[in-house]
Amino acid sequence: MQHVLRAVVSSLLLAASASAHYGAKFEPPDGFIYHGCGWDGYSSQARYNEMFPADHHPLVLQVVASMPGPRWFDVGHIVQSLTQNIVHPDSQYIEYGLHFQGRDTWMLDSVFALTTTMDHYIDTLAIALQTVNRPFFLRIGFEFNGWWNPYHPYIFPLAFRKLVTELRARDVPEFATVWCYEPDAEADFADSTGQGWKWYPGDDIVDWFGLDPFDMEHFNPALPDTERGQLTPKGRSEAFLRFAAERQKPVYLNELSARNVFIVPDSLDPQGDSGRADWFYWFDPFFQFVANHPEIKGWNYINLDWTRYQTYETWGDARLEINTEIRTRWVDSLMSPRFLNAGYDIASPVLETPRGAVLTPALKVRPNPGRGVFRIEFAVARSGGVNLVVSDAAGREVARPFHGHLAAGQHAVFWDAAALPAGVYFVRVRLGGAVSGTHLLVVQ
């Protein structure tokens, strides 16, 4: 157990001292995370929204489609899917996930990449995206090398590149591309030969890396990265994140869901015992995993009862709203200012109030790591009411070192954290709607 604790503490030290900002398209400020919700024709997303106050609805909503797919792939259907009533026209954004898939489920990456047979579908998609005219995350191919998506090595990158290049040539409004991996697949994502990259489309084509963690074994920091000389699922996640850092790409958790947890409804869990056990089994390790990786800049939680789908019926029920203990903890965690919700301008590098008050992004805590009294330094561009908040790794507020009016300029606040247990914390300074933040590690 001691060696596990040492490994966790080592990870926390790195998380507290590290930052990750690569200047990618639509990338939020360092230390912030896009709060998003995953697929199901918006019905599960509507239930997910109801858990939150209106100003904390998810910033990103996910739509999944196939090109050409089992249904009609036409301009009208695409536009309709992106403009339903649940989508806030001015304050939410879409992550559009697109399979290369035929009507009989056969894969089309080779047909799409090596022939002109499917090129008219590029025009269809381009016209639809121009019609909707809003920023998009475009996740192409879902999980590129998963055995469940039988794409072709060395050809899939060509299909990915072709679609992006052609959409850019057709003047599609700004979109950020996502190249996505699921850690049950082979760890050959970084392989290359004389033919080129086996799966990677290239730095000039990929804006974000995507990771789809479902099982606790995909991310629990207490689990080993290798067993018997082979990468574990958690080790494959870590290796993919290292590859993202090497390529200097932020990471989006495109599909995130508590698979194999089997959340129990309140009627069967009146005391919340099962909900608490599930939280400590899946959710606590997840938040710690995110705290350890500042390069993770967004996620979409898929709020589904998977048993309703024949293909996924063994995955269990992952709906958060059915268990009060889990729902309350999840909502409280995402109320932290580090999560960016509906209303944030995804195309803007800083947060602004309607009056234009802006915080400079520089916020420092000294010493870091440390214990006892900390000096928190920040700059305010314009005078106004300032809140300085400290949250734990799960997003729960633990302290408010300052609350009051400050003039424009440089400021420092001294804060005694002697009563806090060791761990990773998040320090955020807010002026109106503007926020700046950083990590802090409290040690014994």
Per the annotation, the verdict on 166 as an active-site residue is no
Catalytic residue among 27, 95, 182, 255: 255
Per the annotation, the verdict on 255 as an active-site residue is yes
Q: DSSP letter for 74, please.
A: -
Of 19, 28, 8, the C-alpha closest to 234 is 8
Catalytic residue among 143, 238, 295, 321: 143
Name the β-bridge partners of 339.
33
Four-CA torsion 216, 37, 293, 328, nearest 10 degrees? -70
Q: Residue 114: helix, strand or coil by DSSP? A: helix
Q: Residue 322: helix, strand or coil by DSSP? A: coil
Six token digits for residue 367 = 């010493």
User: Rounded to whole angstroms, how far apart are CA atoms 205 and 407?
Assistant: 44
Q: DSSP letter for 201, please.
A: -
Q: Are 236 and 190 in contact (CB under 8 A)?
A: no
User: Rounded to whole angstroms, how far apart are CA atoms 40 and 18?
Assistant: 36
- How many C-beta atoms lie closer than 10 Å to residue 362's C-beta? 11
Of 228, 329, 211, the C-alpha closest to 281 is 329
Query: Where in the sequence numbering do the catalytic residues fall?
Result: 143, 255
